[in-house]
Amino acid sequence: MKKLLLCCLILAFTFTSEINAQRKKSKKDKNEQTTAKPEKSKTPKYDDFITSKTKTDDGVFKVHETNNQFIYEIPKSFLGKEMLLVTRIKELPAGLGGGYVNAGSKINTQVIVWEQFKNKILLKVKSYNAVANDSLPIYKSVVANNLEPIIYAFEIKTQNTDSTAVLVDVSDFFSSDVKAITGLPDSFRKTYKVKKLDASRSFINSIKSYPNNIEVIQDFTFDADEPPSNSSTNTITLRVNQSMILLPEDKMMPRVYDKRVGYFSLGSVDYGSEALKADDKRYIKRWRLEPKDLAAYNRGELVEPIKPIVYYLDPATPDKLKKYIKQGVDDWQKVFETAGFKNAIMAKYAPTEQEDPEFSMEDVRYSSIRYVASTTRNATGPSVSDPRTGEIIESDIIWYHNHLRSYRNRYLLETGAANPSARTLDTPAEEIGEMMRMVISHEVGHALGLPHNMAASYAYPVDSLRSGTFTQKMGIAATIMDYARYNYVAQPGDKNIRFIRQLGPYDHYAINWGYRKIPNIKDPEQEVNTLDKWIEEKGDDPIYRFGGERFDPSAQTEGIGNDQVKASTYGIKNLKIVAENLPNWTSDQTNNYEDLSELYGELLSVWSRYVGHVSGNIGGVYEFNKKPNQAGNIYIPVTKEKQKESLIWLQKNAFETQDWLVAKSILTNFKEDGYADLMLSLQNRQLYSLLNPNTLKRMIDAEVIQDDYYAASDMIRDLRTGIFTEANYVKNVDLFRRNLQKSLIDRLGVLLVSSETKNTDISSIIRGELAMLDFQLTIAKNRRINRITKYHYRDCLVTIKEILDPK
């Protein structure tokens, strides 16, 4: 037994020792593994990202694509360089933006810079709202008080083989919903109740690199409760184009803006000014045109520019229209000759894919004229400019497919009385083409930097527009940039009349002022004396005037001629002829009422415009922009005589019932009701224009600066007595006049309690006129008049009492 116990103890000891030995060995092995010298972590190499499967597109940056992952290879020499990032919509769902957003619409433009911070590349947005020369001490303060926002931070993946460039993965940036570059602004998100971007249905379509720019196409799909179309899908899908273009290091010398000549402009606050405050600087937007032969140019010879302005026609443009669009661009060549440049601008047909597979209408290197399949009736001429200098880099003129229908309709309505070829729904092709050509010329003008100049149509005497000799040479307005589309003044029997607008003398003047190079100039300020001289040489010649303020009756949209009363009298005389013949020119020819209905609606709008031109005289103030060395005041109220003449005209042509506008032969064929409301809405537009707080305040202010002025109290009295003329006689009031009279009382009541009229003479005048009307109607209701007129007067008296003595 003892031997057995001894053996067990020996075995146990031996087994335990072996176990402990194994544990020690295991621990030793573990320690040896733990304390072994670790291998160095593998540093990512260029070859880890750029493989045999990678597709590389070389350009301003190299763009590498591997399995739908996109990497930018950014040269270090480009870090800190300024670039322009332009966000456009390439394709979109029907109805997005209410019809005025289309393929090619620009959503955002911003200056960006790529900067390195430690192991990251930061994409920043740079502003030029505040500037200072970087050599001045205050430059540091400008930078410190205008910190540039970072819109994205990229991890540096690695460098290229010679360490001259860094690699960053841009896949997440361009496939995420980054608000700074979104194609769906906040206003759209609210309208369509957008919830979020669906990443599973959003991706990068393509990225292409060109010598000076990179073009990114993104496909985005959003969940939306109320999409503009295909509502059952609760989805908005759109295709967005991002153009990133390298801005020139040799900046174009800007030209100082002058409000006496119409140019789009951009401004900044210059803190480097030696004045006692920061200096507001503003420069015009224009293309960079440099003569090939400067010496010849300075001698006054016509010289071609080094880089002309070229527009490419959209391949989607119908063949029959291409020549007119091209002419609309090429017409500006003659205008640029005034500024010393030959062949400065031209249109070309876009190359086919075989001719240039890299050509893209979205490529910011190319300006284009897009033909958009849309029911919208419009055309636009936007551009992209360098915010540092105003240099226009690129533009895309947009023509909407249905726009020509508007021009056909207006042509018939505004010229049909005097122009036999307009009296049809099938306008001759050459005349339609001429209209399109002029619309394109107008939009090209915008793209060249010219805004609307509504004062140009006021330059010509009204009766000159009835002269064939004058209109064929001078057109119907001094510029194509006015909204003077047609000659509605010419009367039946006038010979050889030009009815369609054209380029005019102001266009030559404005392009010369903005584009002619002034020799031996180093600084924009040195040009100002010469630019001033060019303006002052034209003096007070209305042909070269620029204007467009709403309070100025000489700068109204759609008007022609320098006398609104006379021009609108001619216009309405013609419109009555058109109204009488409208069924014959439309429904009698087509055997349906669709065109008649459409044209009748537009006829009412034309009438409203003619009347509105006259309304603008009342309380109107002319604006003549000047510098102090020019004689005369800038702001001059319309004369008392012209305002009184205008109100008398309005009483007859607007506030008296216009039976010809509500012809039974027309209305009863496409409208079952609403005739009275229709007429009232037309009359109210003019009534509200006259009884507008701003109009009345200008009339009150005229007392300060005019010896003989049309007082607001006199105007409202004249308006009231004219609209309630029947109350002075034993005379019944027709339906349309009853509605208008009630509307006048209601409008006076609104003005009386408006915060805009508080503590002004307006409330005093209104109380006085309502009291006079109360007295007038109290007598009138007892005359021998029909029942509805009595009821009407009693109703008016109750309303007046409630206004003057509210409970």
Average pLDDT of the segment spanning 31-53: 70
CA–CA separation, 350 vs 355, rounded Å?
Answer: 9
Helix (H, G, I), strand (E, B) or coil at 188: helix
Share of the chain above pLDDT 70, in %: 89
Measuring CA to CA, how many Å separate 579 from each of 406, 658, 660, 661? 17, 12, 8, 8
Query: Is residue 182 predicted with pLDDT exceeding 50?
Result: yes
Q: Which pLDDT score is estimated for 8?
A: 44
- At 288-320, the pLDDT tens digits run 999 999 999 999 999 999 999 999 998 888 888
Q: Which pLDDT score is estimated for 390?
A: 94
Quick one: pLDDT band at residue 4, thresholds 50, 70, 90?
very low
Q: Which pLDDT score is estimated for 375?
A: 61
Question: In this structure, are residues 327 and 437 in contact, taking their beta carbons and an 8 Å threshold?
Answer: yes
Element of type H or E holding 62: strand 62-66
CA–CA separation, 487 vs 499, rounded Å?
Answer: 5
- At 737-772, the pLDDT tens digits run 999 999 999 999 999 999 999 899 999 999 999 999
Q: Which pLDDT score is estimated for 725?
A: 97
Report the mean per-residue pLDDT for the chain: 89
Quick one: pLDDT band at residue 141, thresholds 50, 70, 90?
low
Give me the half-sphere count of Cα atoms (radius 13 Å) on the Cβ side of residue 733. Answer: 28
**What does residue 365 show for φ and ψ, rounded to 5 degrees?**
-75, -15
Measuring CA to CA, how many Å separate 26 from each of 15, 36, 445? 16, 15, 87
Quick one: pLDDT band at residue 803, thresholds 50, 70, 90?
very high
Tokens of 67: 């399995």
CA–CA separation, 311 vs 331, rounded Å?
Answer: 13
For residue 638, the tally of other CB atoms under 10 A from its CB is 25
- At 578-630, the pLDDT tens digits run 999 999 999 999 999 999 999 999 999 999 999 999 999 999 999 999 999 99
- At 347-363, the pLDDT tens digits run 999 888 899 887 877 67
- At 543-586, the pLDDT tens digits run 999 998 889 999 999 999 999 999 999 999 999 999 999 999 99
Q: Which pLDDT score is estimated for 505?
A: 97
Tokens of 649: 């005209």
Residue type, 484: A
Average pLDDT of the segment spanning 110-138: 79
Q: Which pLDDT score is estimated for 38?
A: 52
CA–CA separation, 422 vs 48, rounded Å?
Answer: 70
Tokens of 339: 């500024």
- β-bridge mates for residue 385, sequence order: 392
For residue 374, the tally of other CB atoms under 10 A from its CB is 20
Q: Which pLDDT score is estimated for 358?
A: 79
Beta strands 279-284 and 286-287: pairing type?
Answer: unpaired
Tokens of 566: 């006379």
Measuring CA to CA, how many Å separate 693 from each of 698, 709, 753? 9, 18, 12
Q: Which pLDDT score is estimated for 382?
A: 76
Tokens of 79: 């870090």
Question: In this structure, are residues 497 and 486 in contact, taking their beta carbons and an 8 Å threshold?
Answer: no
Average pLDDT of the segment spanning 726-732: 95
- At 51-95, the pLDDT tens digits run 999 999 999 999 999 999 999 999 999 999 999 999 988 888 888
165-174, 390-399, 736-745, 787-796: least confident range = 390-399
Residue 279 CA to its chain's centroid (Å): 28
Q: Show Cβ contacts of residue 104 under 8 Å, excluding neighbours closer than 6 positions.
A: 88, 89, 90, 361, 362, 368, 370, 372, 396, 398
Question: In this structure, are residues 546 and 460 in contact, taking their beta carbons and an 8 Å threshold?
Answer: no
Between the CA atoms of 485, 490, 496 and 501, what dihedral angle is there, to the nearest 10 degrees?
A: -10
CA–CA separation, 307 vs 570, rounded Å?
Answer: 47
Q: Which pLDDT score is estimated for 41?
A: 53
Q: Name which of 200, 188, 199 is nearest 225 in CA terms.
A: 188
Give the Cα-Cα-Cα angle 461, 464, 470 (nearest 5 degrees).
130
Residue type, 366: Y
Interior/surface letters 763-781, b for 16+ CB within 10 angstroms, e for the rest? eebbeebbeebeebbeebb
Query: Is residue 30 predicted with pLDDT exceeding 50?
Result: no
Q: Show Cβ contacts of residue 597 under 8 Å, excluding neighbours closer than 6 positions.
A: 670, 671
Look at the chain and count its residues: 807
Q: Which pLDDT score is estimated for 157?
A: 95
Query: Is residue 278 predicted with pLDDT exceeding 70?
Result: no
**What does residue 752 show for φ and ψ, rounded to 5 degrees?**
-65, -35
Measuring CA to CA, how many Å separate 521 from each of 286, 302, 386, 518, 662? 17, 20, 21, 6, 64
- At 658-695, the pLDDT tens digits run 999 988 888 888 888 888 898 999 999 999 999 999 99
